[in-house]
């Protein structure tokens, strides 16, 4: 049952010390009631408050972790839309391996780790689909786990095979999928014995509701839900209904992360289905096979959707060396918004020159936003360059600014006597031709 701000406030210390970032305990209580603050942000919360509010502020979508060496948390979401606060745990993108597939493929999946905007992206789990008997399936699963150490999603033909395979990867926090009401009791025993997670399924939402309610009442709650839908529109609708029921109507029986196997038989349709899961509340999304082109698209989308809109991703403000610059190498400046930094540094690198890149503190804003907010001005850039004592490393007396803020060139020159300001391109993509036509020509 959700508590009101007034009820929460009565459980807080009442000292208005402001350490939680709110001006009063009442303001903090109102934020908690709106699910925009967590009790852990108040360092003086009593044990009683932790007990009462801990239960009341339990996320409406239950958190569960899969994996032990590569751990992926799921669930714990508190909002329908990212702009309300932030999404907490990104969906896990998994790849299916049919039993008997070459182990080299498992190795490829494990080693697929592209880096984008400073973040290493990876496949979070491997689903193994049974093709042989219980013994061969268990042996295959054990070998895949041994090779990858990724949590597995066991897709067995019957409960006996699920039992053997789970035992073969016991303690890996893998997922036993396709658990229907008929095999639920036995599956719970296996999951408890081997420390695994269960993905329960039923033909409709009511069936899932009954099954999760029963398992929770019986004391097992490490659950995922596997909806059985038959079209993209139905998937979209079902995911949305379940999330809304959990968040807005406090229906705990639907407050679990989901698992979905995708296999439409057409790669483009598979990608569209996976995009729908990532955009609309998916938990684990299993792709039918390993295709780096498809994966990078989906991992990039997930990175964009699951970036906290309140905290732009940013790089450390400092003087960066691109390549192996010397004291006479060109100097560029841009903001500390990660995407901007990686685009600009990448384009400088691609042009084949070595250079210095000044990244002042701009609170993670992009160039125009930082300039509009007064965080990327001639004065602030000059101040930062003095603070980092750039002159101790660099003799160059020219600095290239982004084309979109050509208007700060005069102010920057005024604040940096002896420096000449060059206006670079507006788009990072034009950096290479700028470097070749303006800098290298000199």
Residues binding ligand SF4 (CB under 6 A):
12-13, 15-20, 22, 25, 28, 42, 44
Q: What contacts 66, CB < 8 A, 6 or more positions away?
A: 72, 74, 92, 124, 125, 151, 173, 174, 175, 197, 284
**Torsion over CA of 61, 71, 127 and 217, rounded to 10 degrees?**
-40
Beta carbon nearer to ligand SF4, 17 or 71: 17
CB of residue 79 to ligand SF4, shortest distance in Å: 22
How far is the CA of 170 from the CAs of 116, 174, 175, 211, 408, in angstroms? Answer: 33, 8, 11, 24, 62
- Give the span between the Cα atoms of 409 and 5, in whole angstroms: 51
For residues 412 and 402, is the Cβ–Cβ distance under 8 A? Answer: no
Whichever of 12 and 66 has its CB closer to ligand SF4, that residue is 12
CB-wise, 22 or 57, nearer to ligand SF4?
A: 22
Q: Considering the complex, what minimum distance in angstroms separates the CB of residue 259 from ligand SF4? A: 38
Nearer CB in complex with ligand SF4: 19/133: 19
Please name the residue that has the structure tokens 């090779």: 147
In whole angstroms, give the CA distance from residue 286 to residue 412: 52
**In whole angstroms, what separates CA 71 from the centre of its chain?**
13
CB atoms within 10 A of CB 24: 16
Cα–Cα distance measured from residue 244 to residue 251, given in angstroms and rounded to the nearest whole number: 9
Closest approach of ligand SF4 to the CB of residue 50, in Å: 12
Long-range contacts of 425-429 (CB under 8 A, 24+ apart): 426/402, 427/403, 428/340, 428/343, 428/344, 428/346, 428/347, 429/347
Residue 42 or 225 with smaller CB distance to ligand SF4 = 42
- Closest Cα partner for 151 from 70, 73, 256? 70
* Rounded least distance, CB 55 to ligand SF4, Å: 18
Residue 266, Cβ neighbours under 10 Å: how many?
Answer: 10
Question: Taking a C-beta distance cutoff of 8 angstroms, is the pair 197, 223 a contact?
Answer: yes
CB of 9 to ligand SF4, least distance (A): 9
> Rounded distance, CA 177 to CA 285, Å?
13
Q: Tell me the closest approach of the beta carbon of residue 86 to ligand SF4, in angstroms.
A: 21
> Min. distance of Cβ 363 from ligand SF4 in angstroms?
24
Backbone φ, ψ for residue 332 (5° rounding): -115, 160
Nearer to ligand SF4, 13 or 292 (CB): 13
Please report how close the Cβ of residue 376 comes to ligand SF4 at its closest, in angstroms: 34
Minimum distance, C-beta of residue 4 to ligand SF4, in the bound complex (Å):
16
């Amino acid at each position: 049952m959700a508590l009101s701000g007034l009820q929460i406030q009565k459980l807080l210390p009442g000292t208005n010390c402001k350490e939680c970032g709110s001006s009063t305990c009442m303001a903090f209580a109102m934020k908690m009631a709106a699910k925009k603050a967590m009790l852990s942000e108040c360092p003086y919360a009593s044990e009683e408050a932790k007990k009462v509010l801990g239960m009341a502020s339990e996320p409406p979508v239950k958190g569960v972790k899969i994996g032990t060496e590569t751990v992926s948390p799921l669930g714990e979401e508190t909002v329908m839309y990212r702009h309300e606060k932030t999404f907490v745990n990104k969906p896990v993108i998994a790849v299916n391996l049919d039993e008997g597939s070459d182990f080299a493929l498992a190795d490829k999946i494990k080693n697929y780790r592209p880096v984008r905007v400073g973040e290493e992206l990876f496949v979070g789990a491997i689903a193994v689909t049974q093709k042989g008997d219980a013994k061969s399936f268990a042996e295959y699963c054990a070998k895949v786990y041994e090779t990858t150490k990724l949590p597995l999603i066991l897709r067995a033909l019957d409960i006996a095979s699920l039992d053997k395979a789970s035992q073969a990867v016991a303690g890996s926090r893998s997922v036993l999928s396709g658990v229907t009401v008929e095999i639920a009791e036995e599956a719970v025993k296996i999951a408890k014995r081997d420390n695994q997670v269960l993905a329960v399924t039923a033909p409709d939402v009511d069936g899932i509701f009954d099954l999760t309610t029963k398992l929770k009442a019986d004391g097992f709650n490490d659950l995922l839900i596997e909806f059985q839908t038959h079209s993209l529109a139905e998937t979209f609708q079902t995911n949305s209904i379940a999330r809304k029921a959990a968040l807005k109507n406090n229906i705990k029986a639907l407050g679990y992360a989901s698992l979905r196997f995708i296999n439409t038989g057409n790669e483009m349709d598979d990608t569209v289905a996976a995009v729908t899961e990532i955009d609309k509340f998916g938990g684990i999304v299993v792709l039918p096979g390993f295709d780096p082109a498809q994966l990078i698209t989906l991992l990039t989308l997930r990175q964009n959707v699951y970036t906290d809109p309140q905290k732009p991703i940013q790089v450390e403000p400092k003087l960066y060396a691109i390549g192996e610059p010397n004291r006479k190498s060109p100097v560029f400046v841009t903001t500390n918004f990660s995407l901007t930094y990686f685009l600009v540094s990448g384009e400088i690198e691609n042009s084949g020159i070595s250079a210095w890149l000044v990244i002042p503190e701009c609170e993670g804003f992009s160039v125009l936003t930082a300039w509009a907010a007064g965080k990327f001005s001639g004065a602030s850039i000059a101040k930062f360059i003095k603070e980092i004592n750039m002159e101790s490393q660099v003799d160059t007396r020219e600095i290239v600014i982004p084309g979109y803020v050509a208007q700060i060139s005069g102010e920057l020159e005024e604040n940096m006597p002896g420096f000449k300001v060059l206006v670079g391109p507006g788009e990072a993509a034009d950096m290479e031709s700028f470097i070749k036509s303006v800098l290298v020509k000199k």
